[in-house]
Chains A and B, each alone.
Chain A
Amino acid sequence: MSAIRVERLRVIRGGTVVLPELSCEVAAGTVTGLLGPSGSGKTTLLRAIVGVQRVAGGVVEVLGDPAGSPRLRVRVGYMTQAPSVYGDLTVLENLSFFAGVLGVSTAAVQTAIDDVSLIEFGDRVVDRLSGGQRARVSLATALLGAPDLLVLDEPTVGLDPVLRRDLWELFHRIADRGATLLVSSHVMDEADRCESLLLLREGRLLAEGTPAELRARTGEQQLDEAFLRLVETEE
């Protein structure tokens, strides 16, 4: 069963065609990586999936409903690329606010803050945190209320390797509970941490499948080599 179904999605931003006609699916209960260089349309696709992107055509279905349906607003967690939290509030105040909007308990706030390893920073004003810490506050707000689908736009950028590993383990734990995660990254070495991949380039889907399938198809062991090979064959 697929958690996300995108069919012939067309998006035009500022007169530029960002996604000419994109179709793809994300299987429920998986950690799917959306990979591609910066400018390939990853964020636009994610925005269309959470329902904040104006689209010029096509169908985006999320958990059985059209993307952006009011019913989905409690079922989908979204982490934007730039941290969308209030810099003048503390970590806890930010999370309490989002918890209040979602109507989830303060226990959920503690779980979320623990999940992103920020327990000892709860009373720190967000503007005084490092970039990576700020990104994790933003991630924690997306985790609130245990959504069925998590859409994460480059959640691990700029983090140290240990934290990155911890977060990927967290993503898999969340998927094990039955949720679906769609995680974008422009770093190919994160591809191996995903069960399934969507490779995007210039608004087109270059390939989809498991890392093993992509290796078999291209005969390359390194996934960034595989990506290059796919680009070459397409051209």
Chain B
Amino acid sequence: MSARVTGAVARRVLRQLRRDPRTLALIVGVPCLLEFLLQQLFGRHSPVFQHVGAPLLGLFPFITMFLVTSITMLRERTSGTLERLMTLPLAKLDLLAGYGLAFALVAVVQATVVSLLAFGLLGLEVDGPKWVVVALAVANAVLGSTLGLFTSAFAETEFQAVQFMPAVVFPQLLLCGLFVARDEMATWLRVVSSVFPLTYAYDALARAAADTLDARFALDVAIVLGCIALALVLGAATLRRRTA
């Protein structure tokens, strides 16, 4: 791996995004709109908004970056640029880390803007430190990116890649504990949810919001980071220098 090559990939991905201001506006604007709708729907002081607002803020980047990364990577595969890159002195992890880095930076912007809105204008309150919520949002963005890179290998068209979003993300969202607490779920659902990375991402966010930064919180964060590493390795395994 090389810092120069990783940096070159990250810069290139960011330049491509800059060429597409509408996508950037959607990445930042859509979560803002959804937080606003949530606040309007339940009311500023309602326990629902206060309970759901912070975790959602931390989970949005996961969803957007999953989608954006899987499409970008699919384009790389289908346009022939990936084949070209595989003939260059570029390690597979350089490519994946470059993508992860670029989307992490986008996530910093996204999470910062959304949290300024939510914690400021919308009156969302958390007991724990707000920066931890933002930091977790960025980690979740990287997790989304790496999972997106991995799953893009199984899509042949952009239509398929888009469908992977609900397929991979929605079950995790439903079972992560946001809608029904995990200890109130049927046993088999709890078992299934225990293998989903988003479960731990949500738990960390909920603990950060409640200011319970305990050992369990540390374990959650460690699991999320471990999942990022695992997804990177799996993603690298789907990149082949030689193809049929």
Contacts and interface: CB of A to CB of B under 8 A. Distances in A.
A97 B242 contact: no
A68 B241 contact: yes
Contacts of B9: 97, 101
B80 A80 contact: yes
Interface stretch (A46-54, A154-162, A168-176, A187-195): A46-54
B90 interface: yes
A141 B84 CA distance: 10
B79 A84 contact: yes
A100 B88 contact: no
B87 interface: yes
Contact of A97 (B8, B79, B83, B89): B8
B15 to A, nearest CB: 6
Contacts of A68: 241-242
A84 B85 CA distance: 9
Contacts of B80: 80, 82-84
B86 A97 contact: no
B242 A86 contact: no
A89 B87 contact: no
A80 B83 contact: yes
Contact of B88 (A86, A89, A102): A102
Contacts of B244: 13-14, 54
A233 to B, nearest CB: 34
Contact of A93 (B12, B85, B88, B241): B12
Contact of B15 (A13, A70, A84, A89): A89
A78 interface: yes
A98 interface: yes
Report the contact-size class of chain B (Cβ under 8 Å from the partner): 20 to 34
A97 B12 contact: yes
Nearest to B240: A54
B89 A73 contact: yes
B188 to A, nearest CB: 41
A101 B87 contact: no
B187 interface: no
A52 B243 contact: yes
B86 to A, nearest CB: 6
B87 A88 contact: no
Nearest to A100: B8
Nearest to B16: A88
Nearest to A80: B80
Interface string B1-30: 000110111011001100110000000000
A53 B242 CA distance: 5
Interface string A20-59: 0000000000000000000000000000001111110000
Given A13-B244, A52-B243, A73 B8 contact: no
Interface in B30-47: none
Nearest to B86: A52
B79 A101 contact: no
Interface in B136-169: none
A89 B241 contact: no
B84 A78 contact: yes
B87 A100 contact: no
B5 A88 contact: no
A50 B20 contact: no
A183 to B, nearest CB: 17
Interface of B: 4-5, 7-9, 11-12, 15-16, 19-20, 79-81, 83-90, 241-244
22 contacts: A13-B244, A14-B244, A51-B241, A52-B86, A54-B244, A68-B242, A74-B89, A78-B87, A80-B83, A82-B79, A82-B80, A83-B80, A84-B79, A85-B81, A86-B79, A86-B81, A87-B79, A89-B12, A89-B16, A97-B12, A101-B8, A103-B89
